[in-house]
Copies of this chain bind each other. A is one copy, B any other.
C-alpha cells in the first residue's frame, strides 16, 4: 500500500499534466491563456483531484489503467481554481495575495480575472465530456453531479451564504451550513467521482459521501484553527485575518479547545465510514493528514 507521500509524488505531476493539456488543446487569446495558466500554476495542495485518485487507488489498486481519470481530477481542480479567482475579486473578498502570489485580478485586471474564471468553469465540463475512454453514461453522470455540486445548490450557493453571513456572527449550525455548501459540496463530489469511476456499489458510495462530509468539516475547522495558531509566513496570507475581518469561525464560536474536539469527532466519524477499506488506506491517511497538517 502506498504512503500518502509516495502517492502524492507519483500522482500530482499527472494531475498537472492533465491541466496543462487542457490549456494547450484550446485555441484562445494568449492573454486569456496566460491568466488561466497563472492561477493553475499557483498550485495549492490539489486536495480535490488527489481525492478522486485516492478513492480509485484504494478501490482498484495502484495499477488501474483508466488514464482519463486525470481528466476528471483536472475538471474538479478547474472548478476550485475558478471559484478562488472569483472569490478574490474586489467585489467579493478583495484579496491581493493568495498562496504568497498576487491574485489573478491584481496581476491581469478584474475583467480578465472574471473571464478566466468563466472559461475555467466551461473547461471543467469540457474536460469530463472529452474523456472519451469513459462510457458516455458515466461521463454525463459526472457532469450532472459536478454541475449540482458547483452551482447554486452547492458551491456558489455556499459562497452567497458566506457573503450574507459576513455582516453578523453565525450560529454553529449556520456556519456548518455554509461550509457544507461552499467547500463541502466539491469535496464530496471529488470522492463520489472516484467512487463512480471505480464502479463502487451504492452502499459504499453512500458511506464514502459520509466520509467526505466529515473530512470536509474537519478540513474547515483545521483551516480556522490554523488561521489562529499560524504565522503569516507559514500561511502565505495574513494570519489572524479571520479575527481581523470578524469572520464567523469555529474558534470564534466554540473556542480553540472545543474546536479541536469537534475536529477530532469528525475525524473519527470519517474513519468509521470507510470501514470497508483496509486500515492504512489512502483515505485513512488523508483523514489523518487533514487534521494533522500545519499548512
Contact = CB atoms under 8 A, between A and B. Distances in A.
A70 to B, nearest CB: 18
A263 to B, nearest CB: 27
Contacts of A114: 86, 89, 91-92, 114
A144 B136 CA distance: 11
B31 A164 contact: yes
A86 to B, nearest CB: 6
Interface residues of A, number: 52
Contacts of A110: 91
A153 B121 contact: no
Contacts of A147: 122-123, 125-126, 129
Sorted nearest first, the 9 A-B pairs with minimum C-beta distance are: A122-B151, A91-B110, A126-B147, A129-B144, A28-B152, A119-B152, A136-B137, A119-B156, A28-B157
Interface string A136-150: 110111011011101
Interface in A1-48: 26-29, 31-33, 36
**Which one of A114, A152, A163 has the greatest number of beta carbons of chain B within 10 Å?**
A152
Given A26-B152, A125-B147, A126-B147, 10 more contacts: A28-B157, A29-B157, A112-B160, A115-B156, A119-B152, A119-B156, A122-B156, A128-B143, A129-B140, A136-B137
B109 A91 contact: yes
A32 B128 CA distance: 27
Contacts of A151: 26, 118-119, 121-123, 126
User: In the complex this chain forms, how many copies of it are found?
Assistant: 2
Interface in A140-185: 140-141, 143-144, 146-148, 150-153, 156-157, 159-161, 163-164
Nearest to A163: B111
Contact of A27 (B36, B153, B164): B153
Interface in A94-139: 109-112, 114-115, 117-119, 121-123, 125-126, 128-130, 136-137, 139
A164 B91 contact: no
Contacts of A122: 121, 147-148, 150-152, 156
Contact of A32 (B26, B86, B143, B157): B157
